Structure 1
Amino acid sequence: MRGFRCVLGAAAVLAGVALALALPARPAAAHAGLVSSQPANGAVLTQAPDSVVLRFSEGIAPQFSSARLVDSAGRPVAGTRVAPERAGTDELVMYLPDVAPGTYGVMWRVLAEDDGHTTSGVIVFAVNHPVSGTIVADSGPGTSARPLDVARRWAGLCLLAGLIGGLAVAAVVLAPALRRAVTTDPDGPLPVALRAARHRVLTVAAGGAALGTVVGIAELSAEIHRLAEPGAAPAAAVHLVTGTQWGRLWLARVTVLTALSVLVSALRAQPSASTIRGRVLWPATAALVLVMVSLEALGGHAGALGSGRSAAVVVAALHILTACVWLGAVASLAVVLWPRGGDGAARLAMLRECREPFTQLVVLSVGLVVATGLYNAGRQVDSVDTLLGSAYGRVLLIKSALLLVVGATGLVNSARLHGRVPSRWGGRAGAATSPPRRLVAVEAAAGIVLLLVVGLLAETPPPRPTDDASASSEATLTLAGAADDVEVSVLVTPNRAGVNAFTVLAESRRRPPPAPIDDVTLELDVGGTTAAIPLQQLETGRYFGTATVDGAGPERLTAVIHRSGQQLPVTVNGWLFPPPGTQPETGGQLAATVNPLAGTLAEAMLAVGLLWLLSARRRRRAGTPATPAETDLEGVR
């Protein structure tokens, strides 16, 4: 226990110092989002441009990034060329031939160099006089989170939590208790119970590492399938793994996970950490865990930041580590409590020995999770309004709510474990009880759901500042409506006076649908005058067209669905362009709000760490045991 207190105290001090040093950093962008374009989205030019320059919020991979020009009839414009010397940085440059007056669309698709996310979009511009017309293009996967990517990220996080949490419980909770038990009664029931619990926990950890490797291979396969041209998968795999930052990080993660699965399997076969082999394997495993969380942080939103990137990566790695320790430790507790057979008295003694270090481990982890989470929120979300109004911000709020749920359940479990449950809740003063398996299972299940939300958060692009508001995804207006069995969404970009692109998504709620959709026409009611915008189908359920709109106001858009010789109008209402004075004011900088809270928690972690270090030092000098047996546990449910 003395060594445990020293380790936790030192970790708290180092973590608090790292977080405190990182706090002054300012927010920056993440993901390869379009920051600006020349010409600007929706621009009307008097002269045809020689090139189109697209600038993104982070570096892009040249082998998997492209752009093409189409005219108002949807025909590709020949003679364009993407500059290879500029791709691979944060810009994509496409040189244009001489183009005639008309409306044109630039369809871009890029792969982020760091995080491996594919984003795509369209900008429109007109030469001389803007003309209405149809622009046909594959809109691509866009920047929204894909369900399969979220599922893979969630599975990887669950397995990583099982690995790291299991190692933490085995190293700092079960191992010290086993050493004390072997000293007093080498062949007694308590050492047997502790060895069995340690073996189960390390088995789960080794399985998490091995299955994490499988998830990583599935992730690479999905990325190659999405990016590679037909028949070019082998070459695409080589380019992706060796030619991009994402690929190199992927290779490093899979290698580290493979090594961890071997090391943890070897640790499981060791009777204790005090053997010569155990003294070598545990430090090597701990070092690889630190490398693993660092790689996760480099491949996430923190790795794509500009200013203060190093500090952000350190804090993000600490956030991942402590979150995995917390949630993985809860899962490990469920593994320890789950067997119903065996010696009940030995299980009582085991829980008595482990409850204090387990509680200290979880308390330290939760404190650092909250502090680092606040800091990360301030780095990724620029303002309070953005937190409430963006998809990333809303998912972040859901994550915070789930943290409260998991934390509250953990407090109840800890109170039962330490005999602090009020009598009106079925407890007795001073009588410690084992937390019910069902309640531990509820806490573990809530943690799994929390990791699902974290996976969604990792796949959702954070709101990013832009030089040109029309280039931002926030400049896209989305309106929705429904009629009969058909649901319709209308996306308008850049949502300002002039040339705009209109994308209509139409889908039947019935399975199977009563009839396939043959065609869609978009009618725009402007000041009592109705104008029809011809749309052309891009793919099943997706239609695209352009039009010039001069005035702002509460417009009525009607998507006319044609199927089986009948017409079904679906009307959506909303302001096409917000009039002056209706734009919400930008709230205060989020970092200015949350950084003081994160700083307070960082100072608290410093204080806790120093107290644990001083306490361990006093106990060593006095020669007193660190954890005297105080009360017996009653009733294992």
Structure 2
Amino acid sequence: MIDLAKRRRAIALLLGLLLVALSFPSLAGAHASLTGSQPTSGATIDRAPPRVVFRFSEQVEGSFGAVRVVDERGRRVDDGHVSRVAGGSGLAVGLRGGIGRGAYTATYRVVSADGHPVSGGITFTIGRGVTATPLDVRSEAAGSSAPAGIGTALSIARAVRYLGIGGVCGLLVLLLVVWRPLRRAGRVPDPAAEPFARAAGRLLRGAALVGALGAVAALVLQTANAGGTGIGDALRSGPLGDVLGTRTGAWFALSAVAFALLAGAAGRLARATGGWLPIVGVALLALLVVAPAIGGHAAASSPSAVLIPVEIVHVAGMGSWVGGLLALLLVLPRATRALPAGSPRTALLAAVLMRFSPVALVSVAALTAAGTTLAIFQLTTLYDLTDTAYGRAILIKASLLTVAIGVAVVQRELLLPRLRRLAAGNEALAEGEQADAPATATAGGAEASAPVAAGPAAEALPAAGQAPASNAAATGRHVRTALRAELALLVAVLITTGALAGYAPPKAQTSGPASVTRDVGDLEVQLVVDPARRGPNALHLYVLDRRGQPLRRVAELRVRALPPNRGTPIDVPARVAGPGHWVAPAVPLATRGSWRISVELRRSAFDQQELELPVRVR
């Protein structure tokens, strides 16, 4: 009953941590933004163009059949052949022959370089004096969006894959860097070797299966998210093949294969003392560690040659720490229980913890250095930490890591030296040996199984609420509590990392023109600021009515640029560039940070709309 209760508490803790992922919004916003089109939005042209072209701020994938053109009745007029232009940062779709006068809507749903979907569109008219109205861009683009909850589910699947990577990485590190050298040095008693190998094999297999589940789920959800479909449609061979052709999809699939191979070889890996099998295990682990970097933000950002290695170090450091703690809590107690209570158990526990301590220290150093480097390259200003979802996720992750590091420092500087003295027969262990037999068994059991978090703890540690009979029992309880706290904090960090992968880095958001769209009343206002850097910027303002058409009747338009920190507003002289389109060619945005563009639009004496559009200036 005690084992079952503790297992239930562990499951409840894991479910609670997974709920953290739900507190993050689903994948919001696109990592690539539309920078231009041919024809331009709202244009009236004399004859049909041979194709419609969309240009974006970064490379996009258009193999999902979501680039299309329809007439005012909703009939497809494109030929379905999508081609790349502008070095991969633009897509074009050809138009069928014989297209005549009328109103047309062109929409796109593409995937940016790091696997995130982008949707939108334009309207244009062929022929002067056409009275027909094009279909609503928002309705047409929304029709190709993924069902609600797909984005959040994808973040959770990523977090599960990270948990699998962490478990596999830490277990292999503990096996190859800690346990095997101790066995070769003769510091592991023979009775403890087989129980440890058996428990390590089971846990390694479980972590690999969890990671494989997360990778497969992420692949399917990525297909649904990219193609704007449900789970059932995403399982078809066509859409899955399209996603597998992208870098993100391919690395999800490679991760699943690597996890499956590790799960199959888990038992033999746990018992291997040499030969080729550990080399294969390390190779598969290396593939898993590099997968988030090559299939995510690092490879899609600049400079990728720096960000990819840094991200790999970041994942390896986190995995070694998390998985190592998991093994200490769930595997090591199996080995200590096979030994006589007292000094033999304490000696083995002390030897393992003292050898793992430098591994954890190196992992912490790697995490700190890599995390700082990633923040420097992915953030544009310190304001990004509070003004963007990516920055706020970094703050949450850094806060959790700071607390976890504090717990680790307490354990390394206070608890481990005490444990080492106990193992040498000093301090409280001597007191425990002078006590009667039941007290000695209790103290020795506590010391031997200090890191236990679940079932084995019932037999090795004093129950909660019992007063320790010796300093040895108290030390064991403190070690156990510290290990549990570290692991819980680091699992929360991994879940946060899964959500972080769903957000666009601020630097990616500002790589090129900044684009923002807001609804106000029955209007849609689109703002493009180019190049969104400190200095003169071109400002384009598009206003569409409820049908997605350019707004033609405007009595007065006033635009002001509001600097960060409530500086002096700048009046922006916007001139008419076309129906529903205003432009200001040289707006002086002299300060980096979060600007707000204030727009006051009056259509009549009784109809006025006001709104502010946020713009990040580098």
TM over 0.5: yes
Distance (Å, rounded) in 1 between the aligned partners of 2:417 and 2:234: 63
Q: Cα deviations across residues 280-329 of structure 1 (Å, max 9, x unaligned)?
A: 22122112211221233211111223x54333222222211111111111
Distance (whole Å) between structure 1 residues aligned to residue 356 and residue 105 of structure 2:
59
Give 1:107 shift: 2.1
* Alignment RMSD: 4.5
Verify: 1:177 aligned to 2:173, yes or no.
no
CA distance in 2, matches of 1:410, 1:489: 56
Residue 167, structure 1, aligned to residue 172, structure 2: yes
Q: Aligned partner of 1:218: which letter?
A: A
Alignment match, 2:270: 268
SS at match of 1:36: strand
- Write the mapping of 1:101-140 to structure 2, written as runs, cut at 5 A: 105-112=105-112, 115-123=114-122, 134-135=136-137, 136-139=139-142, 140=144
CA contact (8 A) 1:35 1:468 kept: no
Residue 130 of structure 1 deviates from its aligned partner by: 12
Using the TM superposition, give the Cα deviation of residue 215 of structure 1 relative to its aligned residue in structure 2, in angstroms. Answer: 2.9
What residue in structure 2 maps to residue 281 of structure 1? 277
The offset of 1:269, in angstroms, is: 3.9
Change (3 A) 1:44 1:442: same
Where does residue 158 of structure 1 map in the other structure? 163
Pick from 305, 309, 318: which aligns with 1:314? 309
Q: CA deviation at 1:361?
A: 0.2
Matched residue, 1:400: 398
* Same amino acid, percent of matched pairs: 23
Provide the rounded CA distance (Å) in 2 between the counterparts of 1:317 and 1:100. Answer: 55
User: 1:421-500 to 2 correspondence within 5 Å?
Assistant: 433-434=475-476, 435-463=478-506, 464=508, 469=513, 472=515, 475-477=516-518, 492-494=525-527, 498-500=541-543
- Give the corresponding residue for 2:191: 192
How far is the alpha carbon of 1:149 from its aligned partner?
Answer: 0.4
Q: Does the aligned pair in 1 maintain the 2:158–2:215 contact within 8 Å?
A: no
TM-aligned CA distance change 1:82 to 1:59, over 3 Å: farther
Letter in 1 for 2:54: L
1:361 aligns to what?
359
User: How far 1:99 moved relative to its partner?
Assistant: 7.0
Q: 1:519-541: CA deviations, max 9, x gaps?
A: xxxxx99999xxxxxxxxxxxxx
Distance in 2, matches of 1:215 and 1:161, equals 13
Structure 1 distance, partners of 2:242, 2:329, is 40
C-alpha distance in 2, partners of 1:238/1:549? 40
Task: State which drifts further: 452-461 or 279-288.
Answer: 279-288
Deviation, 1:191, is 4.1
Contact 2:115 2:296 (8 Å CA) reproduced: no
Q: Deviations over 1:457-494 (max 9, x none)?
A: 11222232557636x3xx23478xxxxxxxx9997433
Distance 1:436 1:232 in 2: 47
Kindly indicate whether structure 1 or structure 2 has the higher relative contact order, using CA contacts under 8 Å at least 6 residues apart. 1
Q: Is 1:211–2:207 an aligned residue pair?
A: no
Specify whether residues 220 and 498 from structure 1 end up closer, same or farther in structure 2 by C-alpha distance, changes over 3 A only.
Answer: closer
Whole-Å Cα distance in 1 between the matches of residues 556 and 345 of structure 2? 75
1:145 touches 1:460 (CA, 8 Å); kept in 2? no
Q: Which secondary structure state, in structure 2, belongs to the residue aligned with residue 382 of structure 1?
A: coil
Matched, 1:381 2:379: yes
Residue 327 (structure 2) pairs with residue 332 (structure 1): yes
For residues 386 and 94 of structure 1, do their structure 2 counterparts lie closer, same or farther at Cα, with a shift above 3 Å needed? farther
State the alpha-carbon separation in 2 of the partners of residues 367 and 341 from structure 1.
33
Per the TM alignment, residue 556 of structure 1 is displaced from its structure 2 partner at its CA by 10
402-411 vs 53-62, greater mean Cα deviation: 53-62
**Letter matched to residue 111 of structure 2:** L
Structure 1 residue 164 displacement after superposition: 0.7
Letter of the structure 1 residue corresponding to residue 513 of structure 2: A
Contact 1:43/1:125 (CA < 8 Å) preserved in 2?
yes
Question: How far apart in 2 are the matches of 1:78 and 1:450?
Answer: 47
Q: Please say if residues 310 and 370 of structure 2, whose CA atoms lie closer than 8 Å, have aligned partners that are also in contact.
A: yes
Q: Tell me the amino acid that sits aligned with residue 166 of structure 1.
A: L
Question: Per-residue CA shift, 1:153-205, capped at 9, x if unaligned?
Answer: 111111111111011112212222233335xxx8xxx4434553454234212
Query: Structure 1 residues 263, 108: closer, same or farther in 2, change over 3 A?
Result: same
Q: What stretches of structure 1 of length at least 5 have no aligned partner?
A: 1-29, 422-427, 480-487, 505-523, 529-546, 558-571, 587-637
CA distance in 1, matches of 2:599, 2:244: 52
The residue aligned with 1:292 is 288
Counterparts in 2 of 1:243 and 1:527: CA distance versus 1, 3 Å: closer
Q: How far apart, in 2, do the equivalents of 1:231 and 1:575 lie?
A: 39
* Counterpart in the other structure of 2:22: none
Distance of 2:523 and 2:487 partners within structure 1:
41
For 1:236, the aligned partner's letter is G
Residue of structure 2 in register with 1:532 after alignment = none
Shift of 1:429: 12
Q: Secondary structure at the match of 2:119?
A: strand
How far apart in 1 are the matches of 2:609 and 2:490?
A: 40
What are the ranges of 5 or more consecutive residues in structure 2 without an aligned counterpart? 1-28, 420-426, 430-470, 529-538, 548-553, 559-578, 584-596, 603-607
Paired AA for residue 307 in structure 2? A
Structure 1 position 34, deviation (Å): 2.4
Contact 2:168 2:208 in 1 (8 A): yes
CA distance in 1, matches of 2:160, 2:277: 26
In structure 2, distance between residues paired with 1:232 and 1:493: 32
Alignment CA distance shift 1:385-1:181 (3 Å): same
**1:12-161 equivalence runs, <5 A:** 33-39=32-38, 50=49, 51-69=51-69, 75-76=73-74, 78-81=76-79, 83-86=81-84, 89-95=88-94, 105-112=105-112, 115-123=114-122, 134-135=136-137, 136-139=139-142, 140-141=144-145, 146-161=151-166
User: Is 1:156–1:215's contact at 8 Å kept on the other side of the alignment?
Assistant: yes
Question: What is the CA–CA distance in structure 2 between the aligned matches of 1:159 and 1:262, rounded to whole Å?
Answer: 15
Aligned residues: 468
Deviation at 1:42, TM superposition (A): 5.5
Does the 8 A contact of 2:598 with 2:611 survive in 1?
Answer: yes
Aligned to 2:611: 575
The 8 Å contact of residues 206 and 260 in structure 1, kept in 2 or not, is answered as yes
Q: Is the 8 A contact 1:334 1:440 kept in 2?
A: yes
For residue 138 of structure 1, report the CA deviation from its aligned partner.
3.7
**Residues 1:347 and 2:388 aligned together:** no
**Distance change in 2, residues 1:452/1:467 (3 Å):** closer
Alpha-carbon distance between aligned partners in 2 of 1:195 and 1:231, rounded to the nearest angstrom: 47
- Alpha carbons of 1:449 and 1:466: their partners in 2 closer, same or farther (altered >3 Å)? closer
Q: In structure 2, do the counterparts of structure 1 residues 61 and 575 end up closer, same or farther at CA, with 3 Å as the change threshold? A: closer
Query: Structure 1 residues 476, 391: CA separation in 2 closer, same or farther (over 3 Å shift)?
Result: farther
Residue pairs, 1:254-265, within 5 angstroms: 254-265=256-267
AA aligned to 1:500 is V
TM-score (norm 2): 0.64
* Partner AA of 1:353 in structure 2: A
